[in-house]
Amino acid sequence: MSSSSGLMASLSSSSSARLTSIVSHLSAGDVRPKVVICRHLGPAMPSLLERNDIDIVLWPEDRTCERAWLLENVKGAAGVLVLLGDRVNEELLEAAGPKLRVVSTMSVGYEHIDLPLMAKHNIRVGYTPDVLTEAVADISVMLALMAGRNDGVAYSIVKNGGWSSFAWSPFTFCGPQLSATASSPTRTVGFLGFGRIAQATLARLVPFGITHCIYTGSPNSRPDTTRDAALQAKHNLKVLERVDADRLARESDVLFVLTPGGQETYHLVDAAFLKKMKKMSVLVNTSRGSVVDSDALATALREKWIWGAGLDVVEGEPAISTDHPLVKEPQCVMVPHIGSATFQTRLDMATRAIDNLIGGLFGGEMPAEVGK
């Protein structure tokens, strides 16, 4: 917008406080608010670059934004679009100054953002839930299959040229079958957390012959018996039940970790939890690395407490080297946090992050605002 009247016409559902703030910036000559973008957003980028009502400062390289660059360029910014590796804390707010009014992250998680600090300074925060549900559900099933069927070991033999000299035997590379069979007609899938992604994962598993589904929820939430009854009927499951963590560990043939990160869920899957699991069970984590104690999981695999693990996230990532205890475990399949890595999903995430940024920048609606 080139004038305050043009901007006012474009606003919808904004509070008087936000309007007052925006008008004060405009009256001070801030006709084109400055925004800092910490990564090129691919095909979604033209929707930003073609705007004439904002002043864009874009990190020019296809790698993690350097902290020094961000702190220098965020000065005077009204908005900033960040990724998981960009910490939004007191240091960044001090560098930005008082004009900052919106932070948009291209991620579902927002542990890198100091939310109490944002609330204190009346800075709105946008994130990108929902749009990656299907992609993460896909890769959750993929990792369950890979871990159960010894993909890491089997693939390395082919990759390293050892197939031709390998001595085949009837039970080589065998692992627990995901689907139900005549000899194993009951298959129980467990979920640590039962939100959108977990429910989408369950829908993908039903055709494999899954008969039982158990899950744990947040201690602060009440059981949703109406939803559970509807899901059980829809998927023709013998059991769909909320249980405690002890029963979840003991009964799950495949256990999916799909719970938020943070202090409340830190190392929920620890040595005590893993020791309760079945020896032929598989653990899959596609949510947050901090939920699973890596050292305990490595021990569980090495000492055969469980059969295998499929990981898209690991505590301490991306600083995961070849000497990491889980990388050394042949029954652990690990990929580098690619759960949302489809063209469709990443474009949707980038677009949502941009829409959040623009909505917050001009006092309008944000498609996904933290706390709303």
pLDDT at 8 over 50: no
Per-residue confidence (pLDDT) for residue 218, from 0 to 100: 87
User: What pLDDT shows up at residue 219?
Assistant: 84
Q: What's the pLDDT at 26?
A: 41
Token pair belonging to 272: 């005590």
**What pLDDT, on the 0 to 100 scale, is given for residue 27?**
40
Q: What b/e sequence results for 204-213 when a residue is b if at least 16 CB atoms lie within 10 Å of its CB, and e otherwise?
A: bbeebebbbb
Domains of the chain: 4-130+346-361 (3.40.50.720), 133-334 (3.40.50.720)
Alpha helices in 252-342 (DSSP H): 271-275, 294-302
User: Could you say which of 121, 235, 324, 337 is catalytic?
Assistant: 337
pTM given for the model: 0.86
Report pLDDT for 174. Answer: 93
User: Facing residues of 188 across strands?
Assistant: 212
Our answer to whether residue 212 is catalytic in this structure is no
Owner of token pair 């467990």: 190
Q: What percent of the chain is modeled with pLDDT above 90?
A: 83
Q: Is residue 141 pLDDT above 70, yes or no?
A: yes
Q: Whole-angstrom Cα distance, residue 124 to residue 369?
A: 7
Q: What's the whole-number mean pLDDT along residues 107-135?
A: 95
pLDDT in tens, 35-93: 999 999 999 999 999 999 999 999 999 999 999 999 999 999 999 999 999 999 999 99
Per-residue pLDDT band for 166 (boundaries 50, 70, 90) equals confident
pLDDT attached to residue 6: 36
Is a pLDDT exceeding 70 seen at residue 19?
no
Contact between 356 and 127 under an 8 Å Cβ cutoff? The reply is yes
pLDDT of the residue at 221: 86
Distance, C-alpha 245 to centroid of its chain: 22
> Strand 102-105 relative to strand 124-126: parallel, antiparallel, unpaired?
parallel
Cα–Cα distance measured from residue 299 to residue 296, given in angstroms and rounded to the nearest whole number: 5
